[in-house]
Amino acid sequence: MTTAKSTSQSSDKALESMRKFAEKYAQRTDTYFCSNLSVTAAVIKGLAEHKQEFGSPLCPCRHYQDKAAEVKKAYWNCPCVPMREEKKCHCLLFLTPDNAFASNTQSITTEEITQLCSEME
């Protein structure tokens, strides 16, 4: 039986996992988070929710007829094919330094994600 506490702990673990992934991937690819950290927070939260629900961080910025089928195709699993091949992230999570929306940061805390997302609700 799943309890609210175990679901919350699982959600927290998924969020922390995706936060760490995003930071490491940004550093490894010389990309930066959006200057509006609310965008970064919302995308990381969406990736974490999809990872928890489907087992893969399916891009949360797209509409899918069948999310489970899209996960199996893997094209839009983060980092998506356009990001891996061309450094093009339509979610604005990973931005090249020359992008007008790029910040100079490659880090965000779990607390910042939680606070920024709660302000959007």
Q: Which of the following is catalytic: 61, 78, 89, 91? A: 61
Q: Return all residues near 82 (Cβ < 8 A) that are at least 6 apart.
A: 88, 89, 90
Q: Closest by alpha carbon to 110, among 34, 4, 22, 7?
A: 22
89 is known as an active-site residue:
no
DSSP bridge pairs for 34 = 102
| Sequence-ordered list of residues with C-beta below 8 angstroms from that of 5, at least 6 positions apart, any chain | none
Separation between Cα atoms, residue 94 and residue 16, nearest integer Å: 17
CA distance 111 to 73: 33
Would you name the residues annotated as active-site residues?
A: 61
